[in-house]
Amino acid sequence: VVQGEMDGRLVVVLEDPNELAELEELYFSEDEFELIDKDFDYNEKTEKPKKTKQQKESNIPESVLINDENYEISKKNATDKGICLSMHQPWASLFVHGIKQVEGRTWPTDHRGRLWIASTAKPPNSEEVEQLEEFYRSLYRENMEYVKFPTNYPHASLLGCVEIVDCLSGDDYHKKFPEWEKESTSPFVFVGKQRHRLVMPIKVQGKHKLWKLNGQML
């Protein structure tokens, strides 16, 4: 569990959805924040934490996901600059949950590191959700036992963050990860790793392309 404070409200980020049941038994204080949060930098005033066990990005094993030995989370990109990307639902939640591996765009980006994901104002309809979930069932096939779809798809909300480790051209993406080529046919592809989901999404009004969150939210 990772926690922080945004606009005076407690924000908790789950590494594992099973941790949600444990929240009722936890009492968070400023002192406990130092003990619980060892990788998620909300307070710059704190000393640099010691390295702890690697955080899980989802329930899906690494061997099932897009993986490359060069795609290690870089320490120099670990700073949270509040950069955010707006996505339509249900794609936004699936990206933050680690089911959707990449995000396709018509434009490239040099951004690497933490990227916050916000859902757009338009709510998804049940047909869109059903069709997309069925697409990922066919994509994961025998690995579906690891995939747990979100129970809801909140709109106009800050959902969590993803570590962007690469931006590939569509052609390079298809050559490098042929088993995932069906996930994106866009000219450019953002490759995501290591996700963190907000337990309680925060209402936000998104913008086009990459934009910066209000400083009070960091």
Q: Is residue 15 pLDDT above 70, yes or no? A: no
| pLDDT category of residue 173 using cuts at 50, 70 and 90 | very high
Query: Degrees (nearest 5) of the Cα angle 99, 218, 27?
Result: 80
For residue 56, the model assigns a pLDDT of 39
Q: 208: which residues sit within 8 A by CB, 6+ positions away?
A: 86
For residue 178, the model assigns a pLDDT of 86
The CA-atom distances, in angstroms, between 114 and each of 77, 173, 179 are 7, 21, 25
For residue 143, the model assigns a pLDDT of 81
Q: Is residue 118 pLDDT above 90, yes or no? A: yes
Q: What would the pLDDT profile of 59-80 be if each residue is shown by its tens digit?
A: 555 555 555 555 555 555 556 7
Q: How many CB atoms lie within 10 A of CB 199?
A: 17
Q: Is residue 14 pLDDT above 90, yes or no? A: no
What is the C-alpha radius of gyration for the chain, rounded to an integer number of angstroms?
17
In sequence order, what DSSP letters do the residues of 87-136 get, joined into one string? Answer: E-TTHHHHHHTTSS-EEEESS-----EEEEEEE-SSPPPHHHHHHHHHHH
Task: Tell me the C-alpha distance between 139 and 183, whole Å.
Answer: 8
DSSP code of residue 80: -
For residue 144, the model assigns a pLDDT of 82
At residue 48, φ and ψ (nearest 5 deg) are -60, 125
CB 92 within 8 A of CB 204: no
DSSP, collapsed to helix, strand or coil, labels residue 146 as helix
Nearest to 121 by CA among 154, 155, 84, 85: 155
Highest mean pLDDT among 4-18, 107-121, 137-151: 107-121
Amino acid of residue 171 = D
The chain-wide mean pLDDT, for the chain, equals: 75
